[in-house]
Amino acid sequence: MHARRLFAALRAGLWEGLRVRLVRIAPVLALRLSRTSRNDPRALAWLGECLAARELTRAGARVLARRLRLAGVEVDLVVEDALGIACVEVKTSTARPDGAPVRWRPADRVGYDRVARQRRAADELARRVPCRPTSVRCDVVEVWIDAHGKRFALAQHRSVDRRIG
């Protein structure tokens, strides 16, 4: 019995490592293969962060940190692009299986309090950046994943200082 548990844990750990690599290399393929990630909010959030990081990198940004804790706030991504450094909040949502339009945008879940917390984290990051006086902005990236996991879309909102929508 103990050997079965050990084998199951080993197999789960190997699968998790493979899933992480697959999402970083080919996120659309990972979406197609994974049914559980779209039902698990934590896995969906992580997948959205990976997709956002990948697309921001393709657009010329450099990811400096992921899931960084600053001033008691978890920042999903810290990126540097041509405009400077940004604390990025990623919100992910899936489309409904019947193809009906989604009632709420992912960014609708970013309220006034969330923007204020992100601003506090951005100010803390600006204090910690060595040898360059810079301001750090707060961005929000919305990620939509279709119900079949075949496509995704992103929208980036730069320098967010109030609720979106």
The two beta strands, 152-157 and 73-81, are unpaired
Can you give the residue ranges of every domain in the chain?
Answer: 2-157
What is the value of pTM for the model shown? Answer: 0.75
pLDDT digits over 76-117, tens only? 999 998 888 899 999 888 776 555 556 667 777 778 888 889
Dihedral of the alpha carbons of 52, 93, 142, 125, in degrees to the nearest 10:
-70
Structure tokens that stand for 75 in this block:
């920042």
Fold of 2-157: Trna Endonuclease; Chain: A, domain 1 (3.40.1350)
Query: What is the pLDDT at residue 62?
Result: 93
- d(C-alpha 34, C-alpha 40), whole Å: 11
User: Of 101, 105, 165, 164, whose CA–CA distance to 138 is shortest?
Assistant: 164
User: Of 154, 155, 116, whose CA–CA distance to 138 is shortest?
Assistant: 116
